[in-house]
Structure 1
Amino acid sequence: MKTAVLLCLLVLKLILAGGSSIRENLLSQDVVALFSLDEEEEVAELQVFVEDKTTGEVFPYSSGRIELWRENHALMMNVSDTSELSVSVRHSNTYLWASVYDDKGNWIAESNVLHTGFRAGVRTMIHEAVSNAVWVDGDQIHFDVLIELLEDFESFMISKGVIVIDNQTVGMMSIEHTFDRSNPSGTFTYHHHGEVEVGRHTLSIALLYPGQGTPCALSPQLWFEVRAKSLERLEFESEQIIKADTSFIDENCVNEFVACVVKREAKIPPNRQYTEVLDGADFCFSSLCEHFQAREDRELIFKTLTDRSMQEAMTLHFSAILQGFKVSENFLRAGRALQCIGQLKMALKAYRTVMRLVGYSSRPLTKAQCTYPGCNEISKDTCNIMNRLLHQMQDLSSDFSPGGAANSSESFRSYKSHLSDILPPSSCSSSSSSSCSSSSALHIPKHILRYNLDDIVFCCLTTATTYRSRAGIVASTWWPHARFRYFYGDKEDADLPVTEFTIVKELKEKSEDARYLWEEIMAADYASSLPKFFMALLDMYTRHPNASWFFLGGDDNFVVPVNLLHQLQPLNADEKLVVGGPLGHHLGVGNYLSGGSGIVFSRGFMLATYRKLIPFTVSWRRVRGKHMLCHPCADVAFGFLANDVGAKMVEIPCMHGMWPEYFALHSTRHVPGCLSRARVRYPQISCDRPASFHYLQPRALKFLSSFFFDPE
């Protein structure tokens, strides 16, 4: 196969050399991309080369990025290693090609088109009724898919169908059906619950053979149209906001700070807490206004700058609303900005306006309303935000003057009250008992409980850029309530007790694989997260080979160790178990546990895998992850390894991550019927003692620590 690739490359070089003037006019660089098919391995391999104009030498092109295409549909984008890519095409009858871009995003080369050569045993089409129907903005679009076995096939199995609108994957339908001569065809109905913009769109379906990510059959494209639905006209009356007086602050500092905060606020999803916006303001203040840090009026300066930034953010959000752009989302963002400056009554008006716009329904919403991930649940998000806000207003029990932001102690008290309302009564909280104190659970006799806190080892993966902003907060909140705990990061730190990846460091002079992983870890980029997680797990096991459980998490997790211990009591640590949640599925891998809320590995799992962790991690980084179109994807890789060794995956509802509102089981006295209505389509998980939370920033970590660990 490699000989064929080199011969093709030589032919292309001769062609290019024969028409150098044409080549120079067409290409800014002499880059060649070649797709070849390894029929024995059933893998399509892409290699990208660049020719040195002065020497004529050919070498791999490893910068820039590539886009991989299947027929007219983009399979994946922004692949970091452009020199070589392998994709499993087993049981796939399709055409592949790739576009190559340089570091600046300019197109520089297109590969040959490769036909994978596999003939699917079925054909498929979408019923034309979807084209004839009248669809209105917000409707759930549904259609029938016909699949037929070809005449010269005895049987053929299809696992799933990928729904493609405008050449983009928008959904997946489960088929799991074998077509044979006694049952040669079938009709399957799909309901599309996502948003579809107003206008004309193409629609097709790609069929997947079990275990494969590349389609084996593709339906002809149909056209359908979505018509506009008039938005309800609403008036939003707002009191006059007193402008923050920044005349006593350096103008350059004001402008830089406002730009910094507005930019960070725009990146925070609208359903996230207002405390995250204030965390962003903290960052901007410490990085741009260092000369104010030692002043006595530092807090006044910070508050004034934050008020000014929020007023600028509100101007942008209300301007977008007037333009009819992301109306509900911008009301949600404006309400959050009002919360940040203490305008709680006005914030409540903004949130209630969202509920008037979308109601309690879970119908799909278009970009005229919102676009953030999961925005179809915006009514539930708004209910949770109103719940927190009403608690805050009730606890302060006074009218709010313009700009009168709540102080820290009041915020802690109001959020504690809110958590007491939404978390299950048996959640160990400071308002009910002190049972979450680790000191009371460190040495529980084994005849009472199977495991105590001596039996679980905790890891918090972090990086040098977040030692202060996140890992340091973890160290001062839930971290002391664990017995054996380790921070794993990129470099040593004077204040944070960072543990080295000892095994890899010791072996890097003796093993090429260990040396490769050490270099990956020290790169301290996004891709380094996978080798860090795997090598941290190996390091913990070598330090505590007799421990029952090993927890892997990040510096945006909050964990209640005693509650986690409670969830692990029914499980046998000597079995090969991977514990976490929620359970997901990845093509070519099978089931895996999402790593956001942390993953727990049993002693039995470690005993079966610890010798494999280094070679497996190298294999995933270099080959397997790319074949699965998932790179780095540490949680998916752990799922692959678990399936490989026959481990059982245990999904625990109390480790579904997210922030505390996700665990709400009932409506509250402050927002009657709010959460219960949201449960009609999105039932809440059943969890008696939440064990871990995810996507948390410093203030939220402190709030939860106060709730769980600091009795009043």
Structure 2
Amino acid sequence: MTSLKNVQSKSSKSCYVIFCCCTFIFAPLLIGSIIYQSSGIKIPTILSSINATFSVENLIDSPTKIIATIPHIPLESFICDKINISRFPVSSTTQTNDSFDVYRKNVLEKYCDIVPVPRYNWSSPKSYTENDIAFVIFTAAAFFHTRTTAARDTWVSRITNYYFLSATPYPYLPITVVPGAGEDKLSNMKKLFYGLQIIYKQQMNLSPDKQQKWFYIAGCDTFILPHHLLKRLHGLDYRQPIRVGGHWGQHDCPGPNGTKFQAEFPSGGAGFFFSMKLLEILQPHLTNYVENVWPRNSEISDVALSCLSHQLGVPLTKQVGFWAHPPAFTLGENGRDKFHKEPEPNDFHYIKPDEMHALDEFYIYQHMDRLINDRNWSEFTQFMRRFVASHYELLRKKRRECTLPTIEAEVKLSNK
């Protein structure tokens, strides 16, 4: 039989091991927390923890398990946290209002109180990559130098496959020309229905491995977050006729013999997907629909394409995160709970050029924050290399298209 003295000895050893384990876990956290808080930095609390399990065996008759919950120190947002410090040195020789810290204070910080700000737990899209998508973007000659260039210089600069649809050539974007479409508001119908035929022919001239699997329709004043958007296609088969969107409504559609029927449509402002298979089965119907079926005085091309798709038996697959207005309006219209329920928005519509640049910068930093806080160095490296490559590609375009301001006259000494 085991003596009482041996049991007490084993028990003492067990307690000693448990004490050492707990000290190993919590002492660094306590010291780190004291140092972190002593800096006087106020950062929103992030509720997150790790469960650590240790087993102590062979010291007493049954093993002892220690389960410790270790709270994380709050994870940082480069824009939304430490707002009272400068992130970069302030120039003492060349003052500028375009510096990051000035722009951050004047423009970027407001989004911290408007949009969701996830700091960690990034997960990559599982079913498709950015190269699987072709972005089809409506524009017009009147917008080439404003919102279309703003889109090209921001989120589009990191896109592999895209089409800017217009009736007017402009090589700097470049434009996929839709002859005879016009450039007024009514031109959207022809740009979309004729443009989809041009795109399909171009796709069929590619080898199958170069063809895109999905097509995303949006306007040139839509700011898009492709790395969020791709997640809405998870589990969907591009070889089936599918259309995907959000911010949906219902609208009357022209039926046979003067009849009408209702169909669900996704907001064209927020954008919507359709699969390669749907693009294929639309082809025989596009010209007739725009010329003979749809009212000639109606420019709502998103509804028209939805009506045609409905007639072909393709319902709308609804997804979250599609927003048809700017962030501030979206928050006011929907409330914080509804707006923030999905922390990864796909897009915002009615975005002016200045806000297009601001949102792009804000969300670039947010994505970097999440990868850094997750210590996801592989994806962080891939993202940064793509960002740097697109930056210099854009600079090369800018050098070809920009006319610099006139140089002023030399300043000479005045004669006294």
Match of 1:477 among 138, 154, 172: 154
Q: Deviations over 1:418-471 (max 9, x none)?
A: 334443344xxxxx47979xxxx8xxxxxx822111211012211111100111
- 8 Å CA contact 2:115–2:340 kept in 1: the answer is no
Decide whether aligned partners of structure 1 residues 547 and 709 sit closer, same or farther in structure 2, where only a CA change above 3 A counts.
same
User: Counterparts of 1:420 and 1:476 in 2: how far apart (Å)?
Assistant: 23
User: Counterparts of 1:693 and 1:562 in 2: how far apart (Å)?
Assistant: 14
Give the structure 2 partner of residue 570 of structure 1.
235
Give the structure 2 partner of residue 631 of structure 1.
298
- 8 Å CA contact 1:550–1:602 kept in 2: the answer is yes
More relative contact order, 1 or 2 (CA 8 Å, 6+ apart): 2
Give the structure 1 partner of residue 364 of structure 2.
709
- 8 Å CA contact 1:412–1:703 kept in 2: the answer is no
User: Counterparts of 2:350 and 2:121 in 1: how far apart (Å)?
Assistant: 26
Match of 2:220 among 547, 555, 558: 555
Decide whether aligned partners of structure 1 residues 650 and 413 sit closer, same or farther in structure 2, where only a CA change above 3 A counts.
farther
- 8 Å CA contact 2:309–2:315 kept in 1: the answer is yes
Amino acid at match of 1:454: N
Q: Deviations over 1:142-200 (max 9, x none)?
A: xxxxxxxxxxxxxxxxxxxxxxxxxxxxxxxxxxxxxxxxxxxxxxxxxxxxxxxxxxx
Q: Is the counterpart of residue 617 in structure 1 residue 290 in structure 2?
A: yes
Decide whether aligned partners of structure 1 residues 434 and 698 sit closer, same or farther in structure 2, where only a CA change above 3 A counts.
farther
Match of 2:127 among 434, 450, 466: 450
Decide whether aligned partners of structure 1 residues 455 and 586 sit closer, same or farther in structure 2, where only a CA change above 3 A counts.
same
Decide whether aligned partners of structure 1 residues 709 and 684 sit closer, same or farther in structure 2, where only a CA change above 3 A counts.
closer
Q: Deviations over 1:551-571 (max 9, x none)?
A: 111110111111111121132
What's the offset of the Cα at 1:648?
Answer: 1.8
Give the structure 2 partner of residue 647 of structure 1.
314
Match of 1:538 among 190, 194, 197: 197
Match of 2:323 among 653, 656, 664: 656
What's the offset of the Cα at 1:534?
Answer: 1.9
SS state at 1:619 partner? helix
What's the offset of the Cα at 1:574?
Answer: 2.3
- 8 Å CA contact 2:219–2:268 kept in 1: the answer is no
Q: Deviations over 1:284-333 (max 9, x none)?
A: xxxxxxxxxxxxxxxxxxxxxxxxxxxxxxxxxxxxxxxxxxxxxxxxxx
What's the offset of the Cα at 1:656?
Answer: 2.2
User: Counterparts of 1:678 and 1:530 in 2: how far apart (Å)?
Assistant: 30
- 8 Å CA contact 1:551–1:601 kept in 2: the answer is yes
SS state at 2:321 partner? helix
Decide whether aligned partners of structure 1 residues 657 and 408 sit closer, same or farther in structure 2, where only a CA change above 3 A counts.
farther
SS state at 2:137 partner? strand
Root-mean-square deviation (CA, aligned residues, Å) is: 3.3
Amino acid at match of 2:197: L
Give the structure 2 partner of residue 465 of structure 1.
142
User: Counterparts of 2:274 and 2:175 in 1: how far apart (Å)?
Assistant: 22
User: Counterparts of 2:203 and 2:132 in 1: how far apart (Å)?
Assistant: 9
Decide whether aligned partners of structure 1 residues 462 and 576 sit closer, same or farther in structure 2, where only a CA change above 3 A counts.
same
Structure with bigger strand share is: 1
Match of 1:528 among 187, 211, 220: 187
Q: Deviations over 1:632-667 (max 9, x none)?
A: 211110111111101020222211221123665xxx
Amino acid at match of 1:556: D
What's the offset of the Cα at 1:708?
Answer: 1.8
Give the structure 2 partner of residue 490 of structure 1.
167
- 8 Å CA contact 2:139–2:219 kept in 1: the answer is yes
- 8 Å CA contact 2:137–2:218 kept in 1: the answer is yes
Amino acid at match of 1:424: P
User: Counterparts of 1:411 and 1:701 in 2: how far apart (Å)?
Assistant: 14
What's the offset of the Cα at 1:408?
Answer: 4.2
TM-score between the two structures when normalised by the length of structure 1: 0.34
Match of 2:275 among 597, 602, 627: 602
User: Counterparts of 1:659 and 1:699 in 2: how far apart (Å)?
Assistant: 12
What's the offset of the Cα at 1:536?
Answer: 2.3
- 8 Å CA contact 1:578–1:605 kept in 2: the answer is yes
User: Counterparts of 1:547 and 1:477 in 2: how far apart (Å)?
Assistant: 22
Structure 1, unpaired ranges of 5+: 1-390, 398-405, 427-431, 442-447, 502-517, 665-674
SS state at 1:480 partner? helix
User: Counterparts of 1:433 and 1:678 in 2: how far apart (Å)?
Assistant: 25
SS state at 1:586 partner? strand
Amino acid at match of 2:295: G
Match of 2:109 among 391, 394, 417: 417
TM-score between the two structures when normalised by the length of structure 2: 0.56
- 8 Å CA contact 1:653–1:686 kept in 2: the answer is no
- 8 Å CA contact 1:416–1:707 kept in 2: the answer is yes
- 8 Å CA contact 1:553–1:596 kept in 2: the answer is yes
- 8 Å CA contact 1:540–1:550 kept in 2: the answer is no
Decide whether aligned partners of structure 1 residues 434 and 472 sit closer, same or farther in structure 2, where only a CA change above 3 A counts.
farther
SS state at 1:544 partner? helix
Give the structure 1 partner of residue 350 of structure 2.
695
- 8 Å CA contact 2:251–2:264 kept in 1: the answer is yes
User: Counterparts of 1:415 and 1:572 in 2: how far apart (Å)?
Assistant: 41
User: Counterparts of 1:491 and 1:411 in 2: how far apart (Å)?
Assistant: 35
User: Counterparts of 2:203 and 2:84 in 1: how far apart (Å)?
Assistant: 46
Decide whether aligned partners of structure 1 residues 659 and 434 sit closer, same or farther in structure 2, where only a CA change above 3 A counts.
farther
Pairs within 5 Å for 1:404-443: 407-409=97-99, 410-413=102-105, 415-426=107-118, 432=119
Amino acid at match of 1:694: H
User: Counterparts of 1:695 and 1:528 in 2: how far apart (Å)?
Assistant: 19
- 8 Å CA contact 1:463–1:524 kept in 2: the answer is yes
What's the offset of the Cα at 1:414?
Answer: 5.0
What's the offset of the Cα at 1:395?
Answer: 5.8
Decide whether aligned partners of structure 1 residues 566 and 678 sit closer, same or farther in structure 2, where only a CA change above 3 A counts.
closer
Decide whether aligned partners of structure 1 residues 642 and 453 sit closer, same or farther in structure 2, where only a CA change above 3 A counts.
same
